[in-house]
Amino acid sequence: MKASWSGRFGLSLLLVLGLFVSAGAGTSVAVASKKKAKKPATTRTKKKTPSPKASTTSTVVVASVAGTSLLPTATIATAVPATVPATVPGLASTIVWAVCGEYDCATVNVPLDYSAPAGPQIGIALQRRRAVGPNPVGSVLINPGGPSGSGIDFLTNRPKLFSPPAREKYHVIGFDPRGVGQSAPLSCASTRDRSARTSKDYVDAVRDACYNRQPDLVKAITTANTARDMEQIRIALGEPKLNYLGVSYGTYLGMVYADLFPDRVGRFMIDSAVDPSLRAIELTAGQYGVYEARVVDFLGRCSRSRTCTFGPNSLQRYDALLKQLETQPIRANGLTVDRASMESITFAMIRAGLETTLARFLSEFERNNASSVPELQRIFNSALPNINDLVNDADGDGMYFQVACAEGFHPSASLDSPEQKLAVLTANAPRFVASAAGIANSKACVFWGQQNDSRPQPTAKPGLPPLLFFGSINDNVTPATWTKRAASQWPGSVYVQVSGAAHGVMSNNACANEVGSIFLLSGSLPDPAVCSTP
């Protein structure tokens, strides 16, 4: 049986979500998974977190979380108390750091259930890049998003995050959120086969491996509880205010913290924001609108160019090609390129800067010429992210499904009918019809047992200091309009926009990194146009 390219490449757009981790400009494709795509071989390889030299990394011990019976869906509550006690019984008041290679590492104990703070505890793993100067003034906590992104990995992979003066004065601390990595991971070790990521069998396997075996941990995994864990980290650090950088879903996490602990907010940088007010299908539709704009922009430039091999009349020819591939897919090298896969291939190659090659492929496919399929295969095997294996490890899937489905981020969390979803998506992106159909019919959250199309709405409280927002004009993961709207909901805050398509602006734009660093050092908000190009 021949494999279909839609199974390989179409997957990148079948279940696009409204929450992602920072993956860098031009290397990630908005995809069905919650985490970043693996990077091409030319990029930096993720370093493994070194083991501590000391046998004990902190004064606390991680309590085991047991559970064998499935907790009924109706009892999975995300509500927690509006406030958390300044101290929680049994927790250490200070952090004892151990040396872990070039970093320090530690663990902070937090309640599993904040409504019962004296009950079982779990450990939240921290990794610190020490301030290089002799007189550090504090720390800044970072989160890359996900929701199951590892802050420890983020710290390791971003050595130049913040300017040298800021790194001289501030410790930078990454943490693994509850359910992730080294922080009471919601283990899904038996679900490493992702060949059918959108199928009921796959989600059922994740649910069985994670949800059914650790129900107490599952129900305790919420954005609000992770925000409360951040407060316990602040308390353990002994710092009066929390300084924070959150990217993508991490922006929502930061806004929830600011809502719950407004008097503890220090210098908050909100980078490539999720708009909390949007419903699940609206998040996906917003992303699709950006995809559509990028494709139309490419085709317009191609049509006007004398050298583009797919011009003139590129837009009309592309629409005709998509229609042609519905009934006459390209077959070569044991693979098939149909409409769904062509939608994904087009967007992925535009994001990767391979427009000249893409134009040649399109002109060949238009003539039913399949000679470039082997080259296309080589590109996706080497030069682009492997979008058939999108997560760093299997153990994040359960935590991802729980937050995405219980808090209304995954499109299948929407209660709208498939017809209603398809209408919204195709209105925003008529050139992604096949991909939209896959999204509209997805039942991933139904299979998981959570389908909640809402989430806590963080709001600015009196006395909250202004936040600093960053976004890029062509961000394909969290569109710039989301960040603008989010910034407008926090009085006094400033939105700084940069050119390009970076997701995770401070990690990918020198101006933004410098502006954020100045804000961290001085608390001074910049002019909104500080990083604008003439």
Confidence at residue 494, expressed as pLDDT on a 0 to 100 scale: 97
CA distance 72 to 66: 16
C-alpha dihedral (252, 406, 414, 210), degrees to nearest 10: 120
pLDDT at 516 over 90: yes
- Write the secondary structure of 350-418 as one string of H (helix), E (strand) and C (coil): HHCCCHHHHHHHHHHHHCCCCCCHHHHHHHHHHHCCCCCCCCCCHHHHHHHHHHHHHCCCCHHHCCCCH
Mode of pairing for the β-strands spanning 265-273 and 138-143: unpaired
Q: Residue 215: pLDDT above 90?
A: no
Query: What average pLDDT does range 259-276 have in this prediction?
Result: 96
The pLDDT assigned to 128 comes to 98
Beta strands in 131-169 (DSSP E): 138-143
Alpha-carbon torsion (484, 490, 494, 496), positive or negative: negative
> What is the per-residue pLDDT across 486-515, written as a single tens digit (0 to 9) for each?
999 999 999 999 998 889 999 999 999 999
Residues 400-441 pLDDT 10s = 888 999 999 999 999 999 999 999 999 999 999 999 998 999
For the chain, what percent of residues have pLDDT higher than 90? 63
Give the number of other CB atoms < 10 A from CB of residue 406: 27
pLDDT score of 251:
97
pLDDT in tens, 329-357: 999 988 889 999 999 999 999 988 899 99
Residue 207 or residue 389, greater confidence: 207
Give the pLDDT band of residue 204 (cuts 50, 70, 90): confident
| Torsion angle, alpha carbons of 59, 65, 66, 69, to 10 | 170
Element (H, E) at 340: helix 339-351
Check residue 54 and give its pLDDT.
Answer: 37
User: Per-residue pLDDT tens for 30-79?
Assistant: 222 333 333 323 333 334 444 444 332 222 222 222 222 222 222 223 33
* Cα distance between residue 264 and residue 228, in whole Å: 12
Residue 135 and residue 311: Cα distance in Å, rounded? Answer: 60
pLDDT level of residue 83 (50, 70, 90 thresholds): very low
- Look at residue 72 in the predicted model and tell me its pLDDT: 26
Kind and range of the H or E run holding 243: strand 242-248
Position 108, amino acid: V
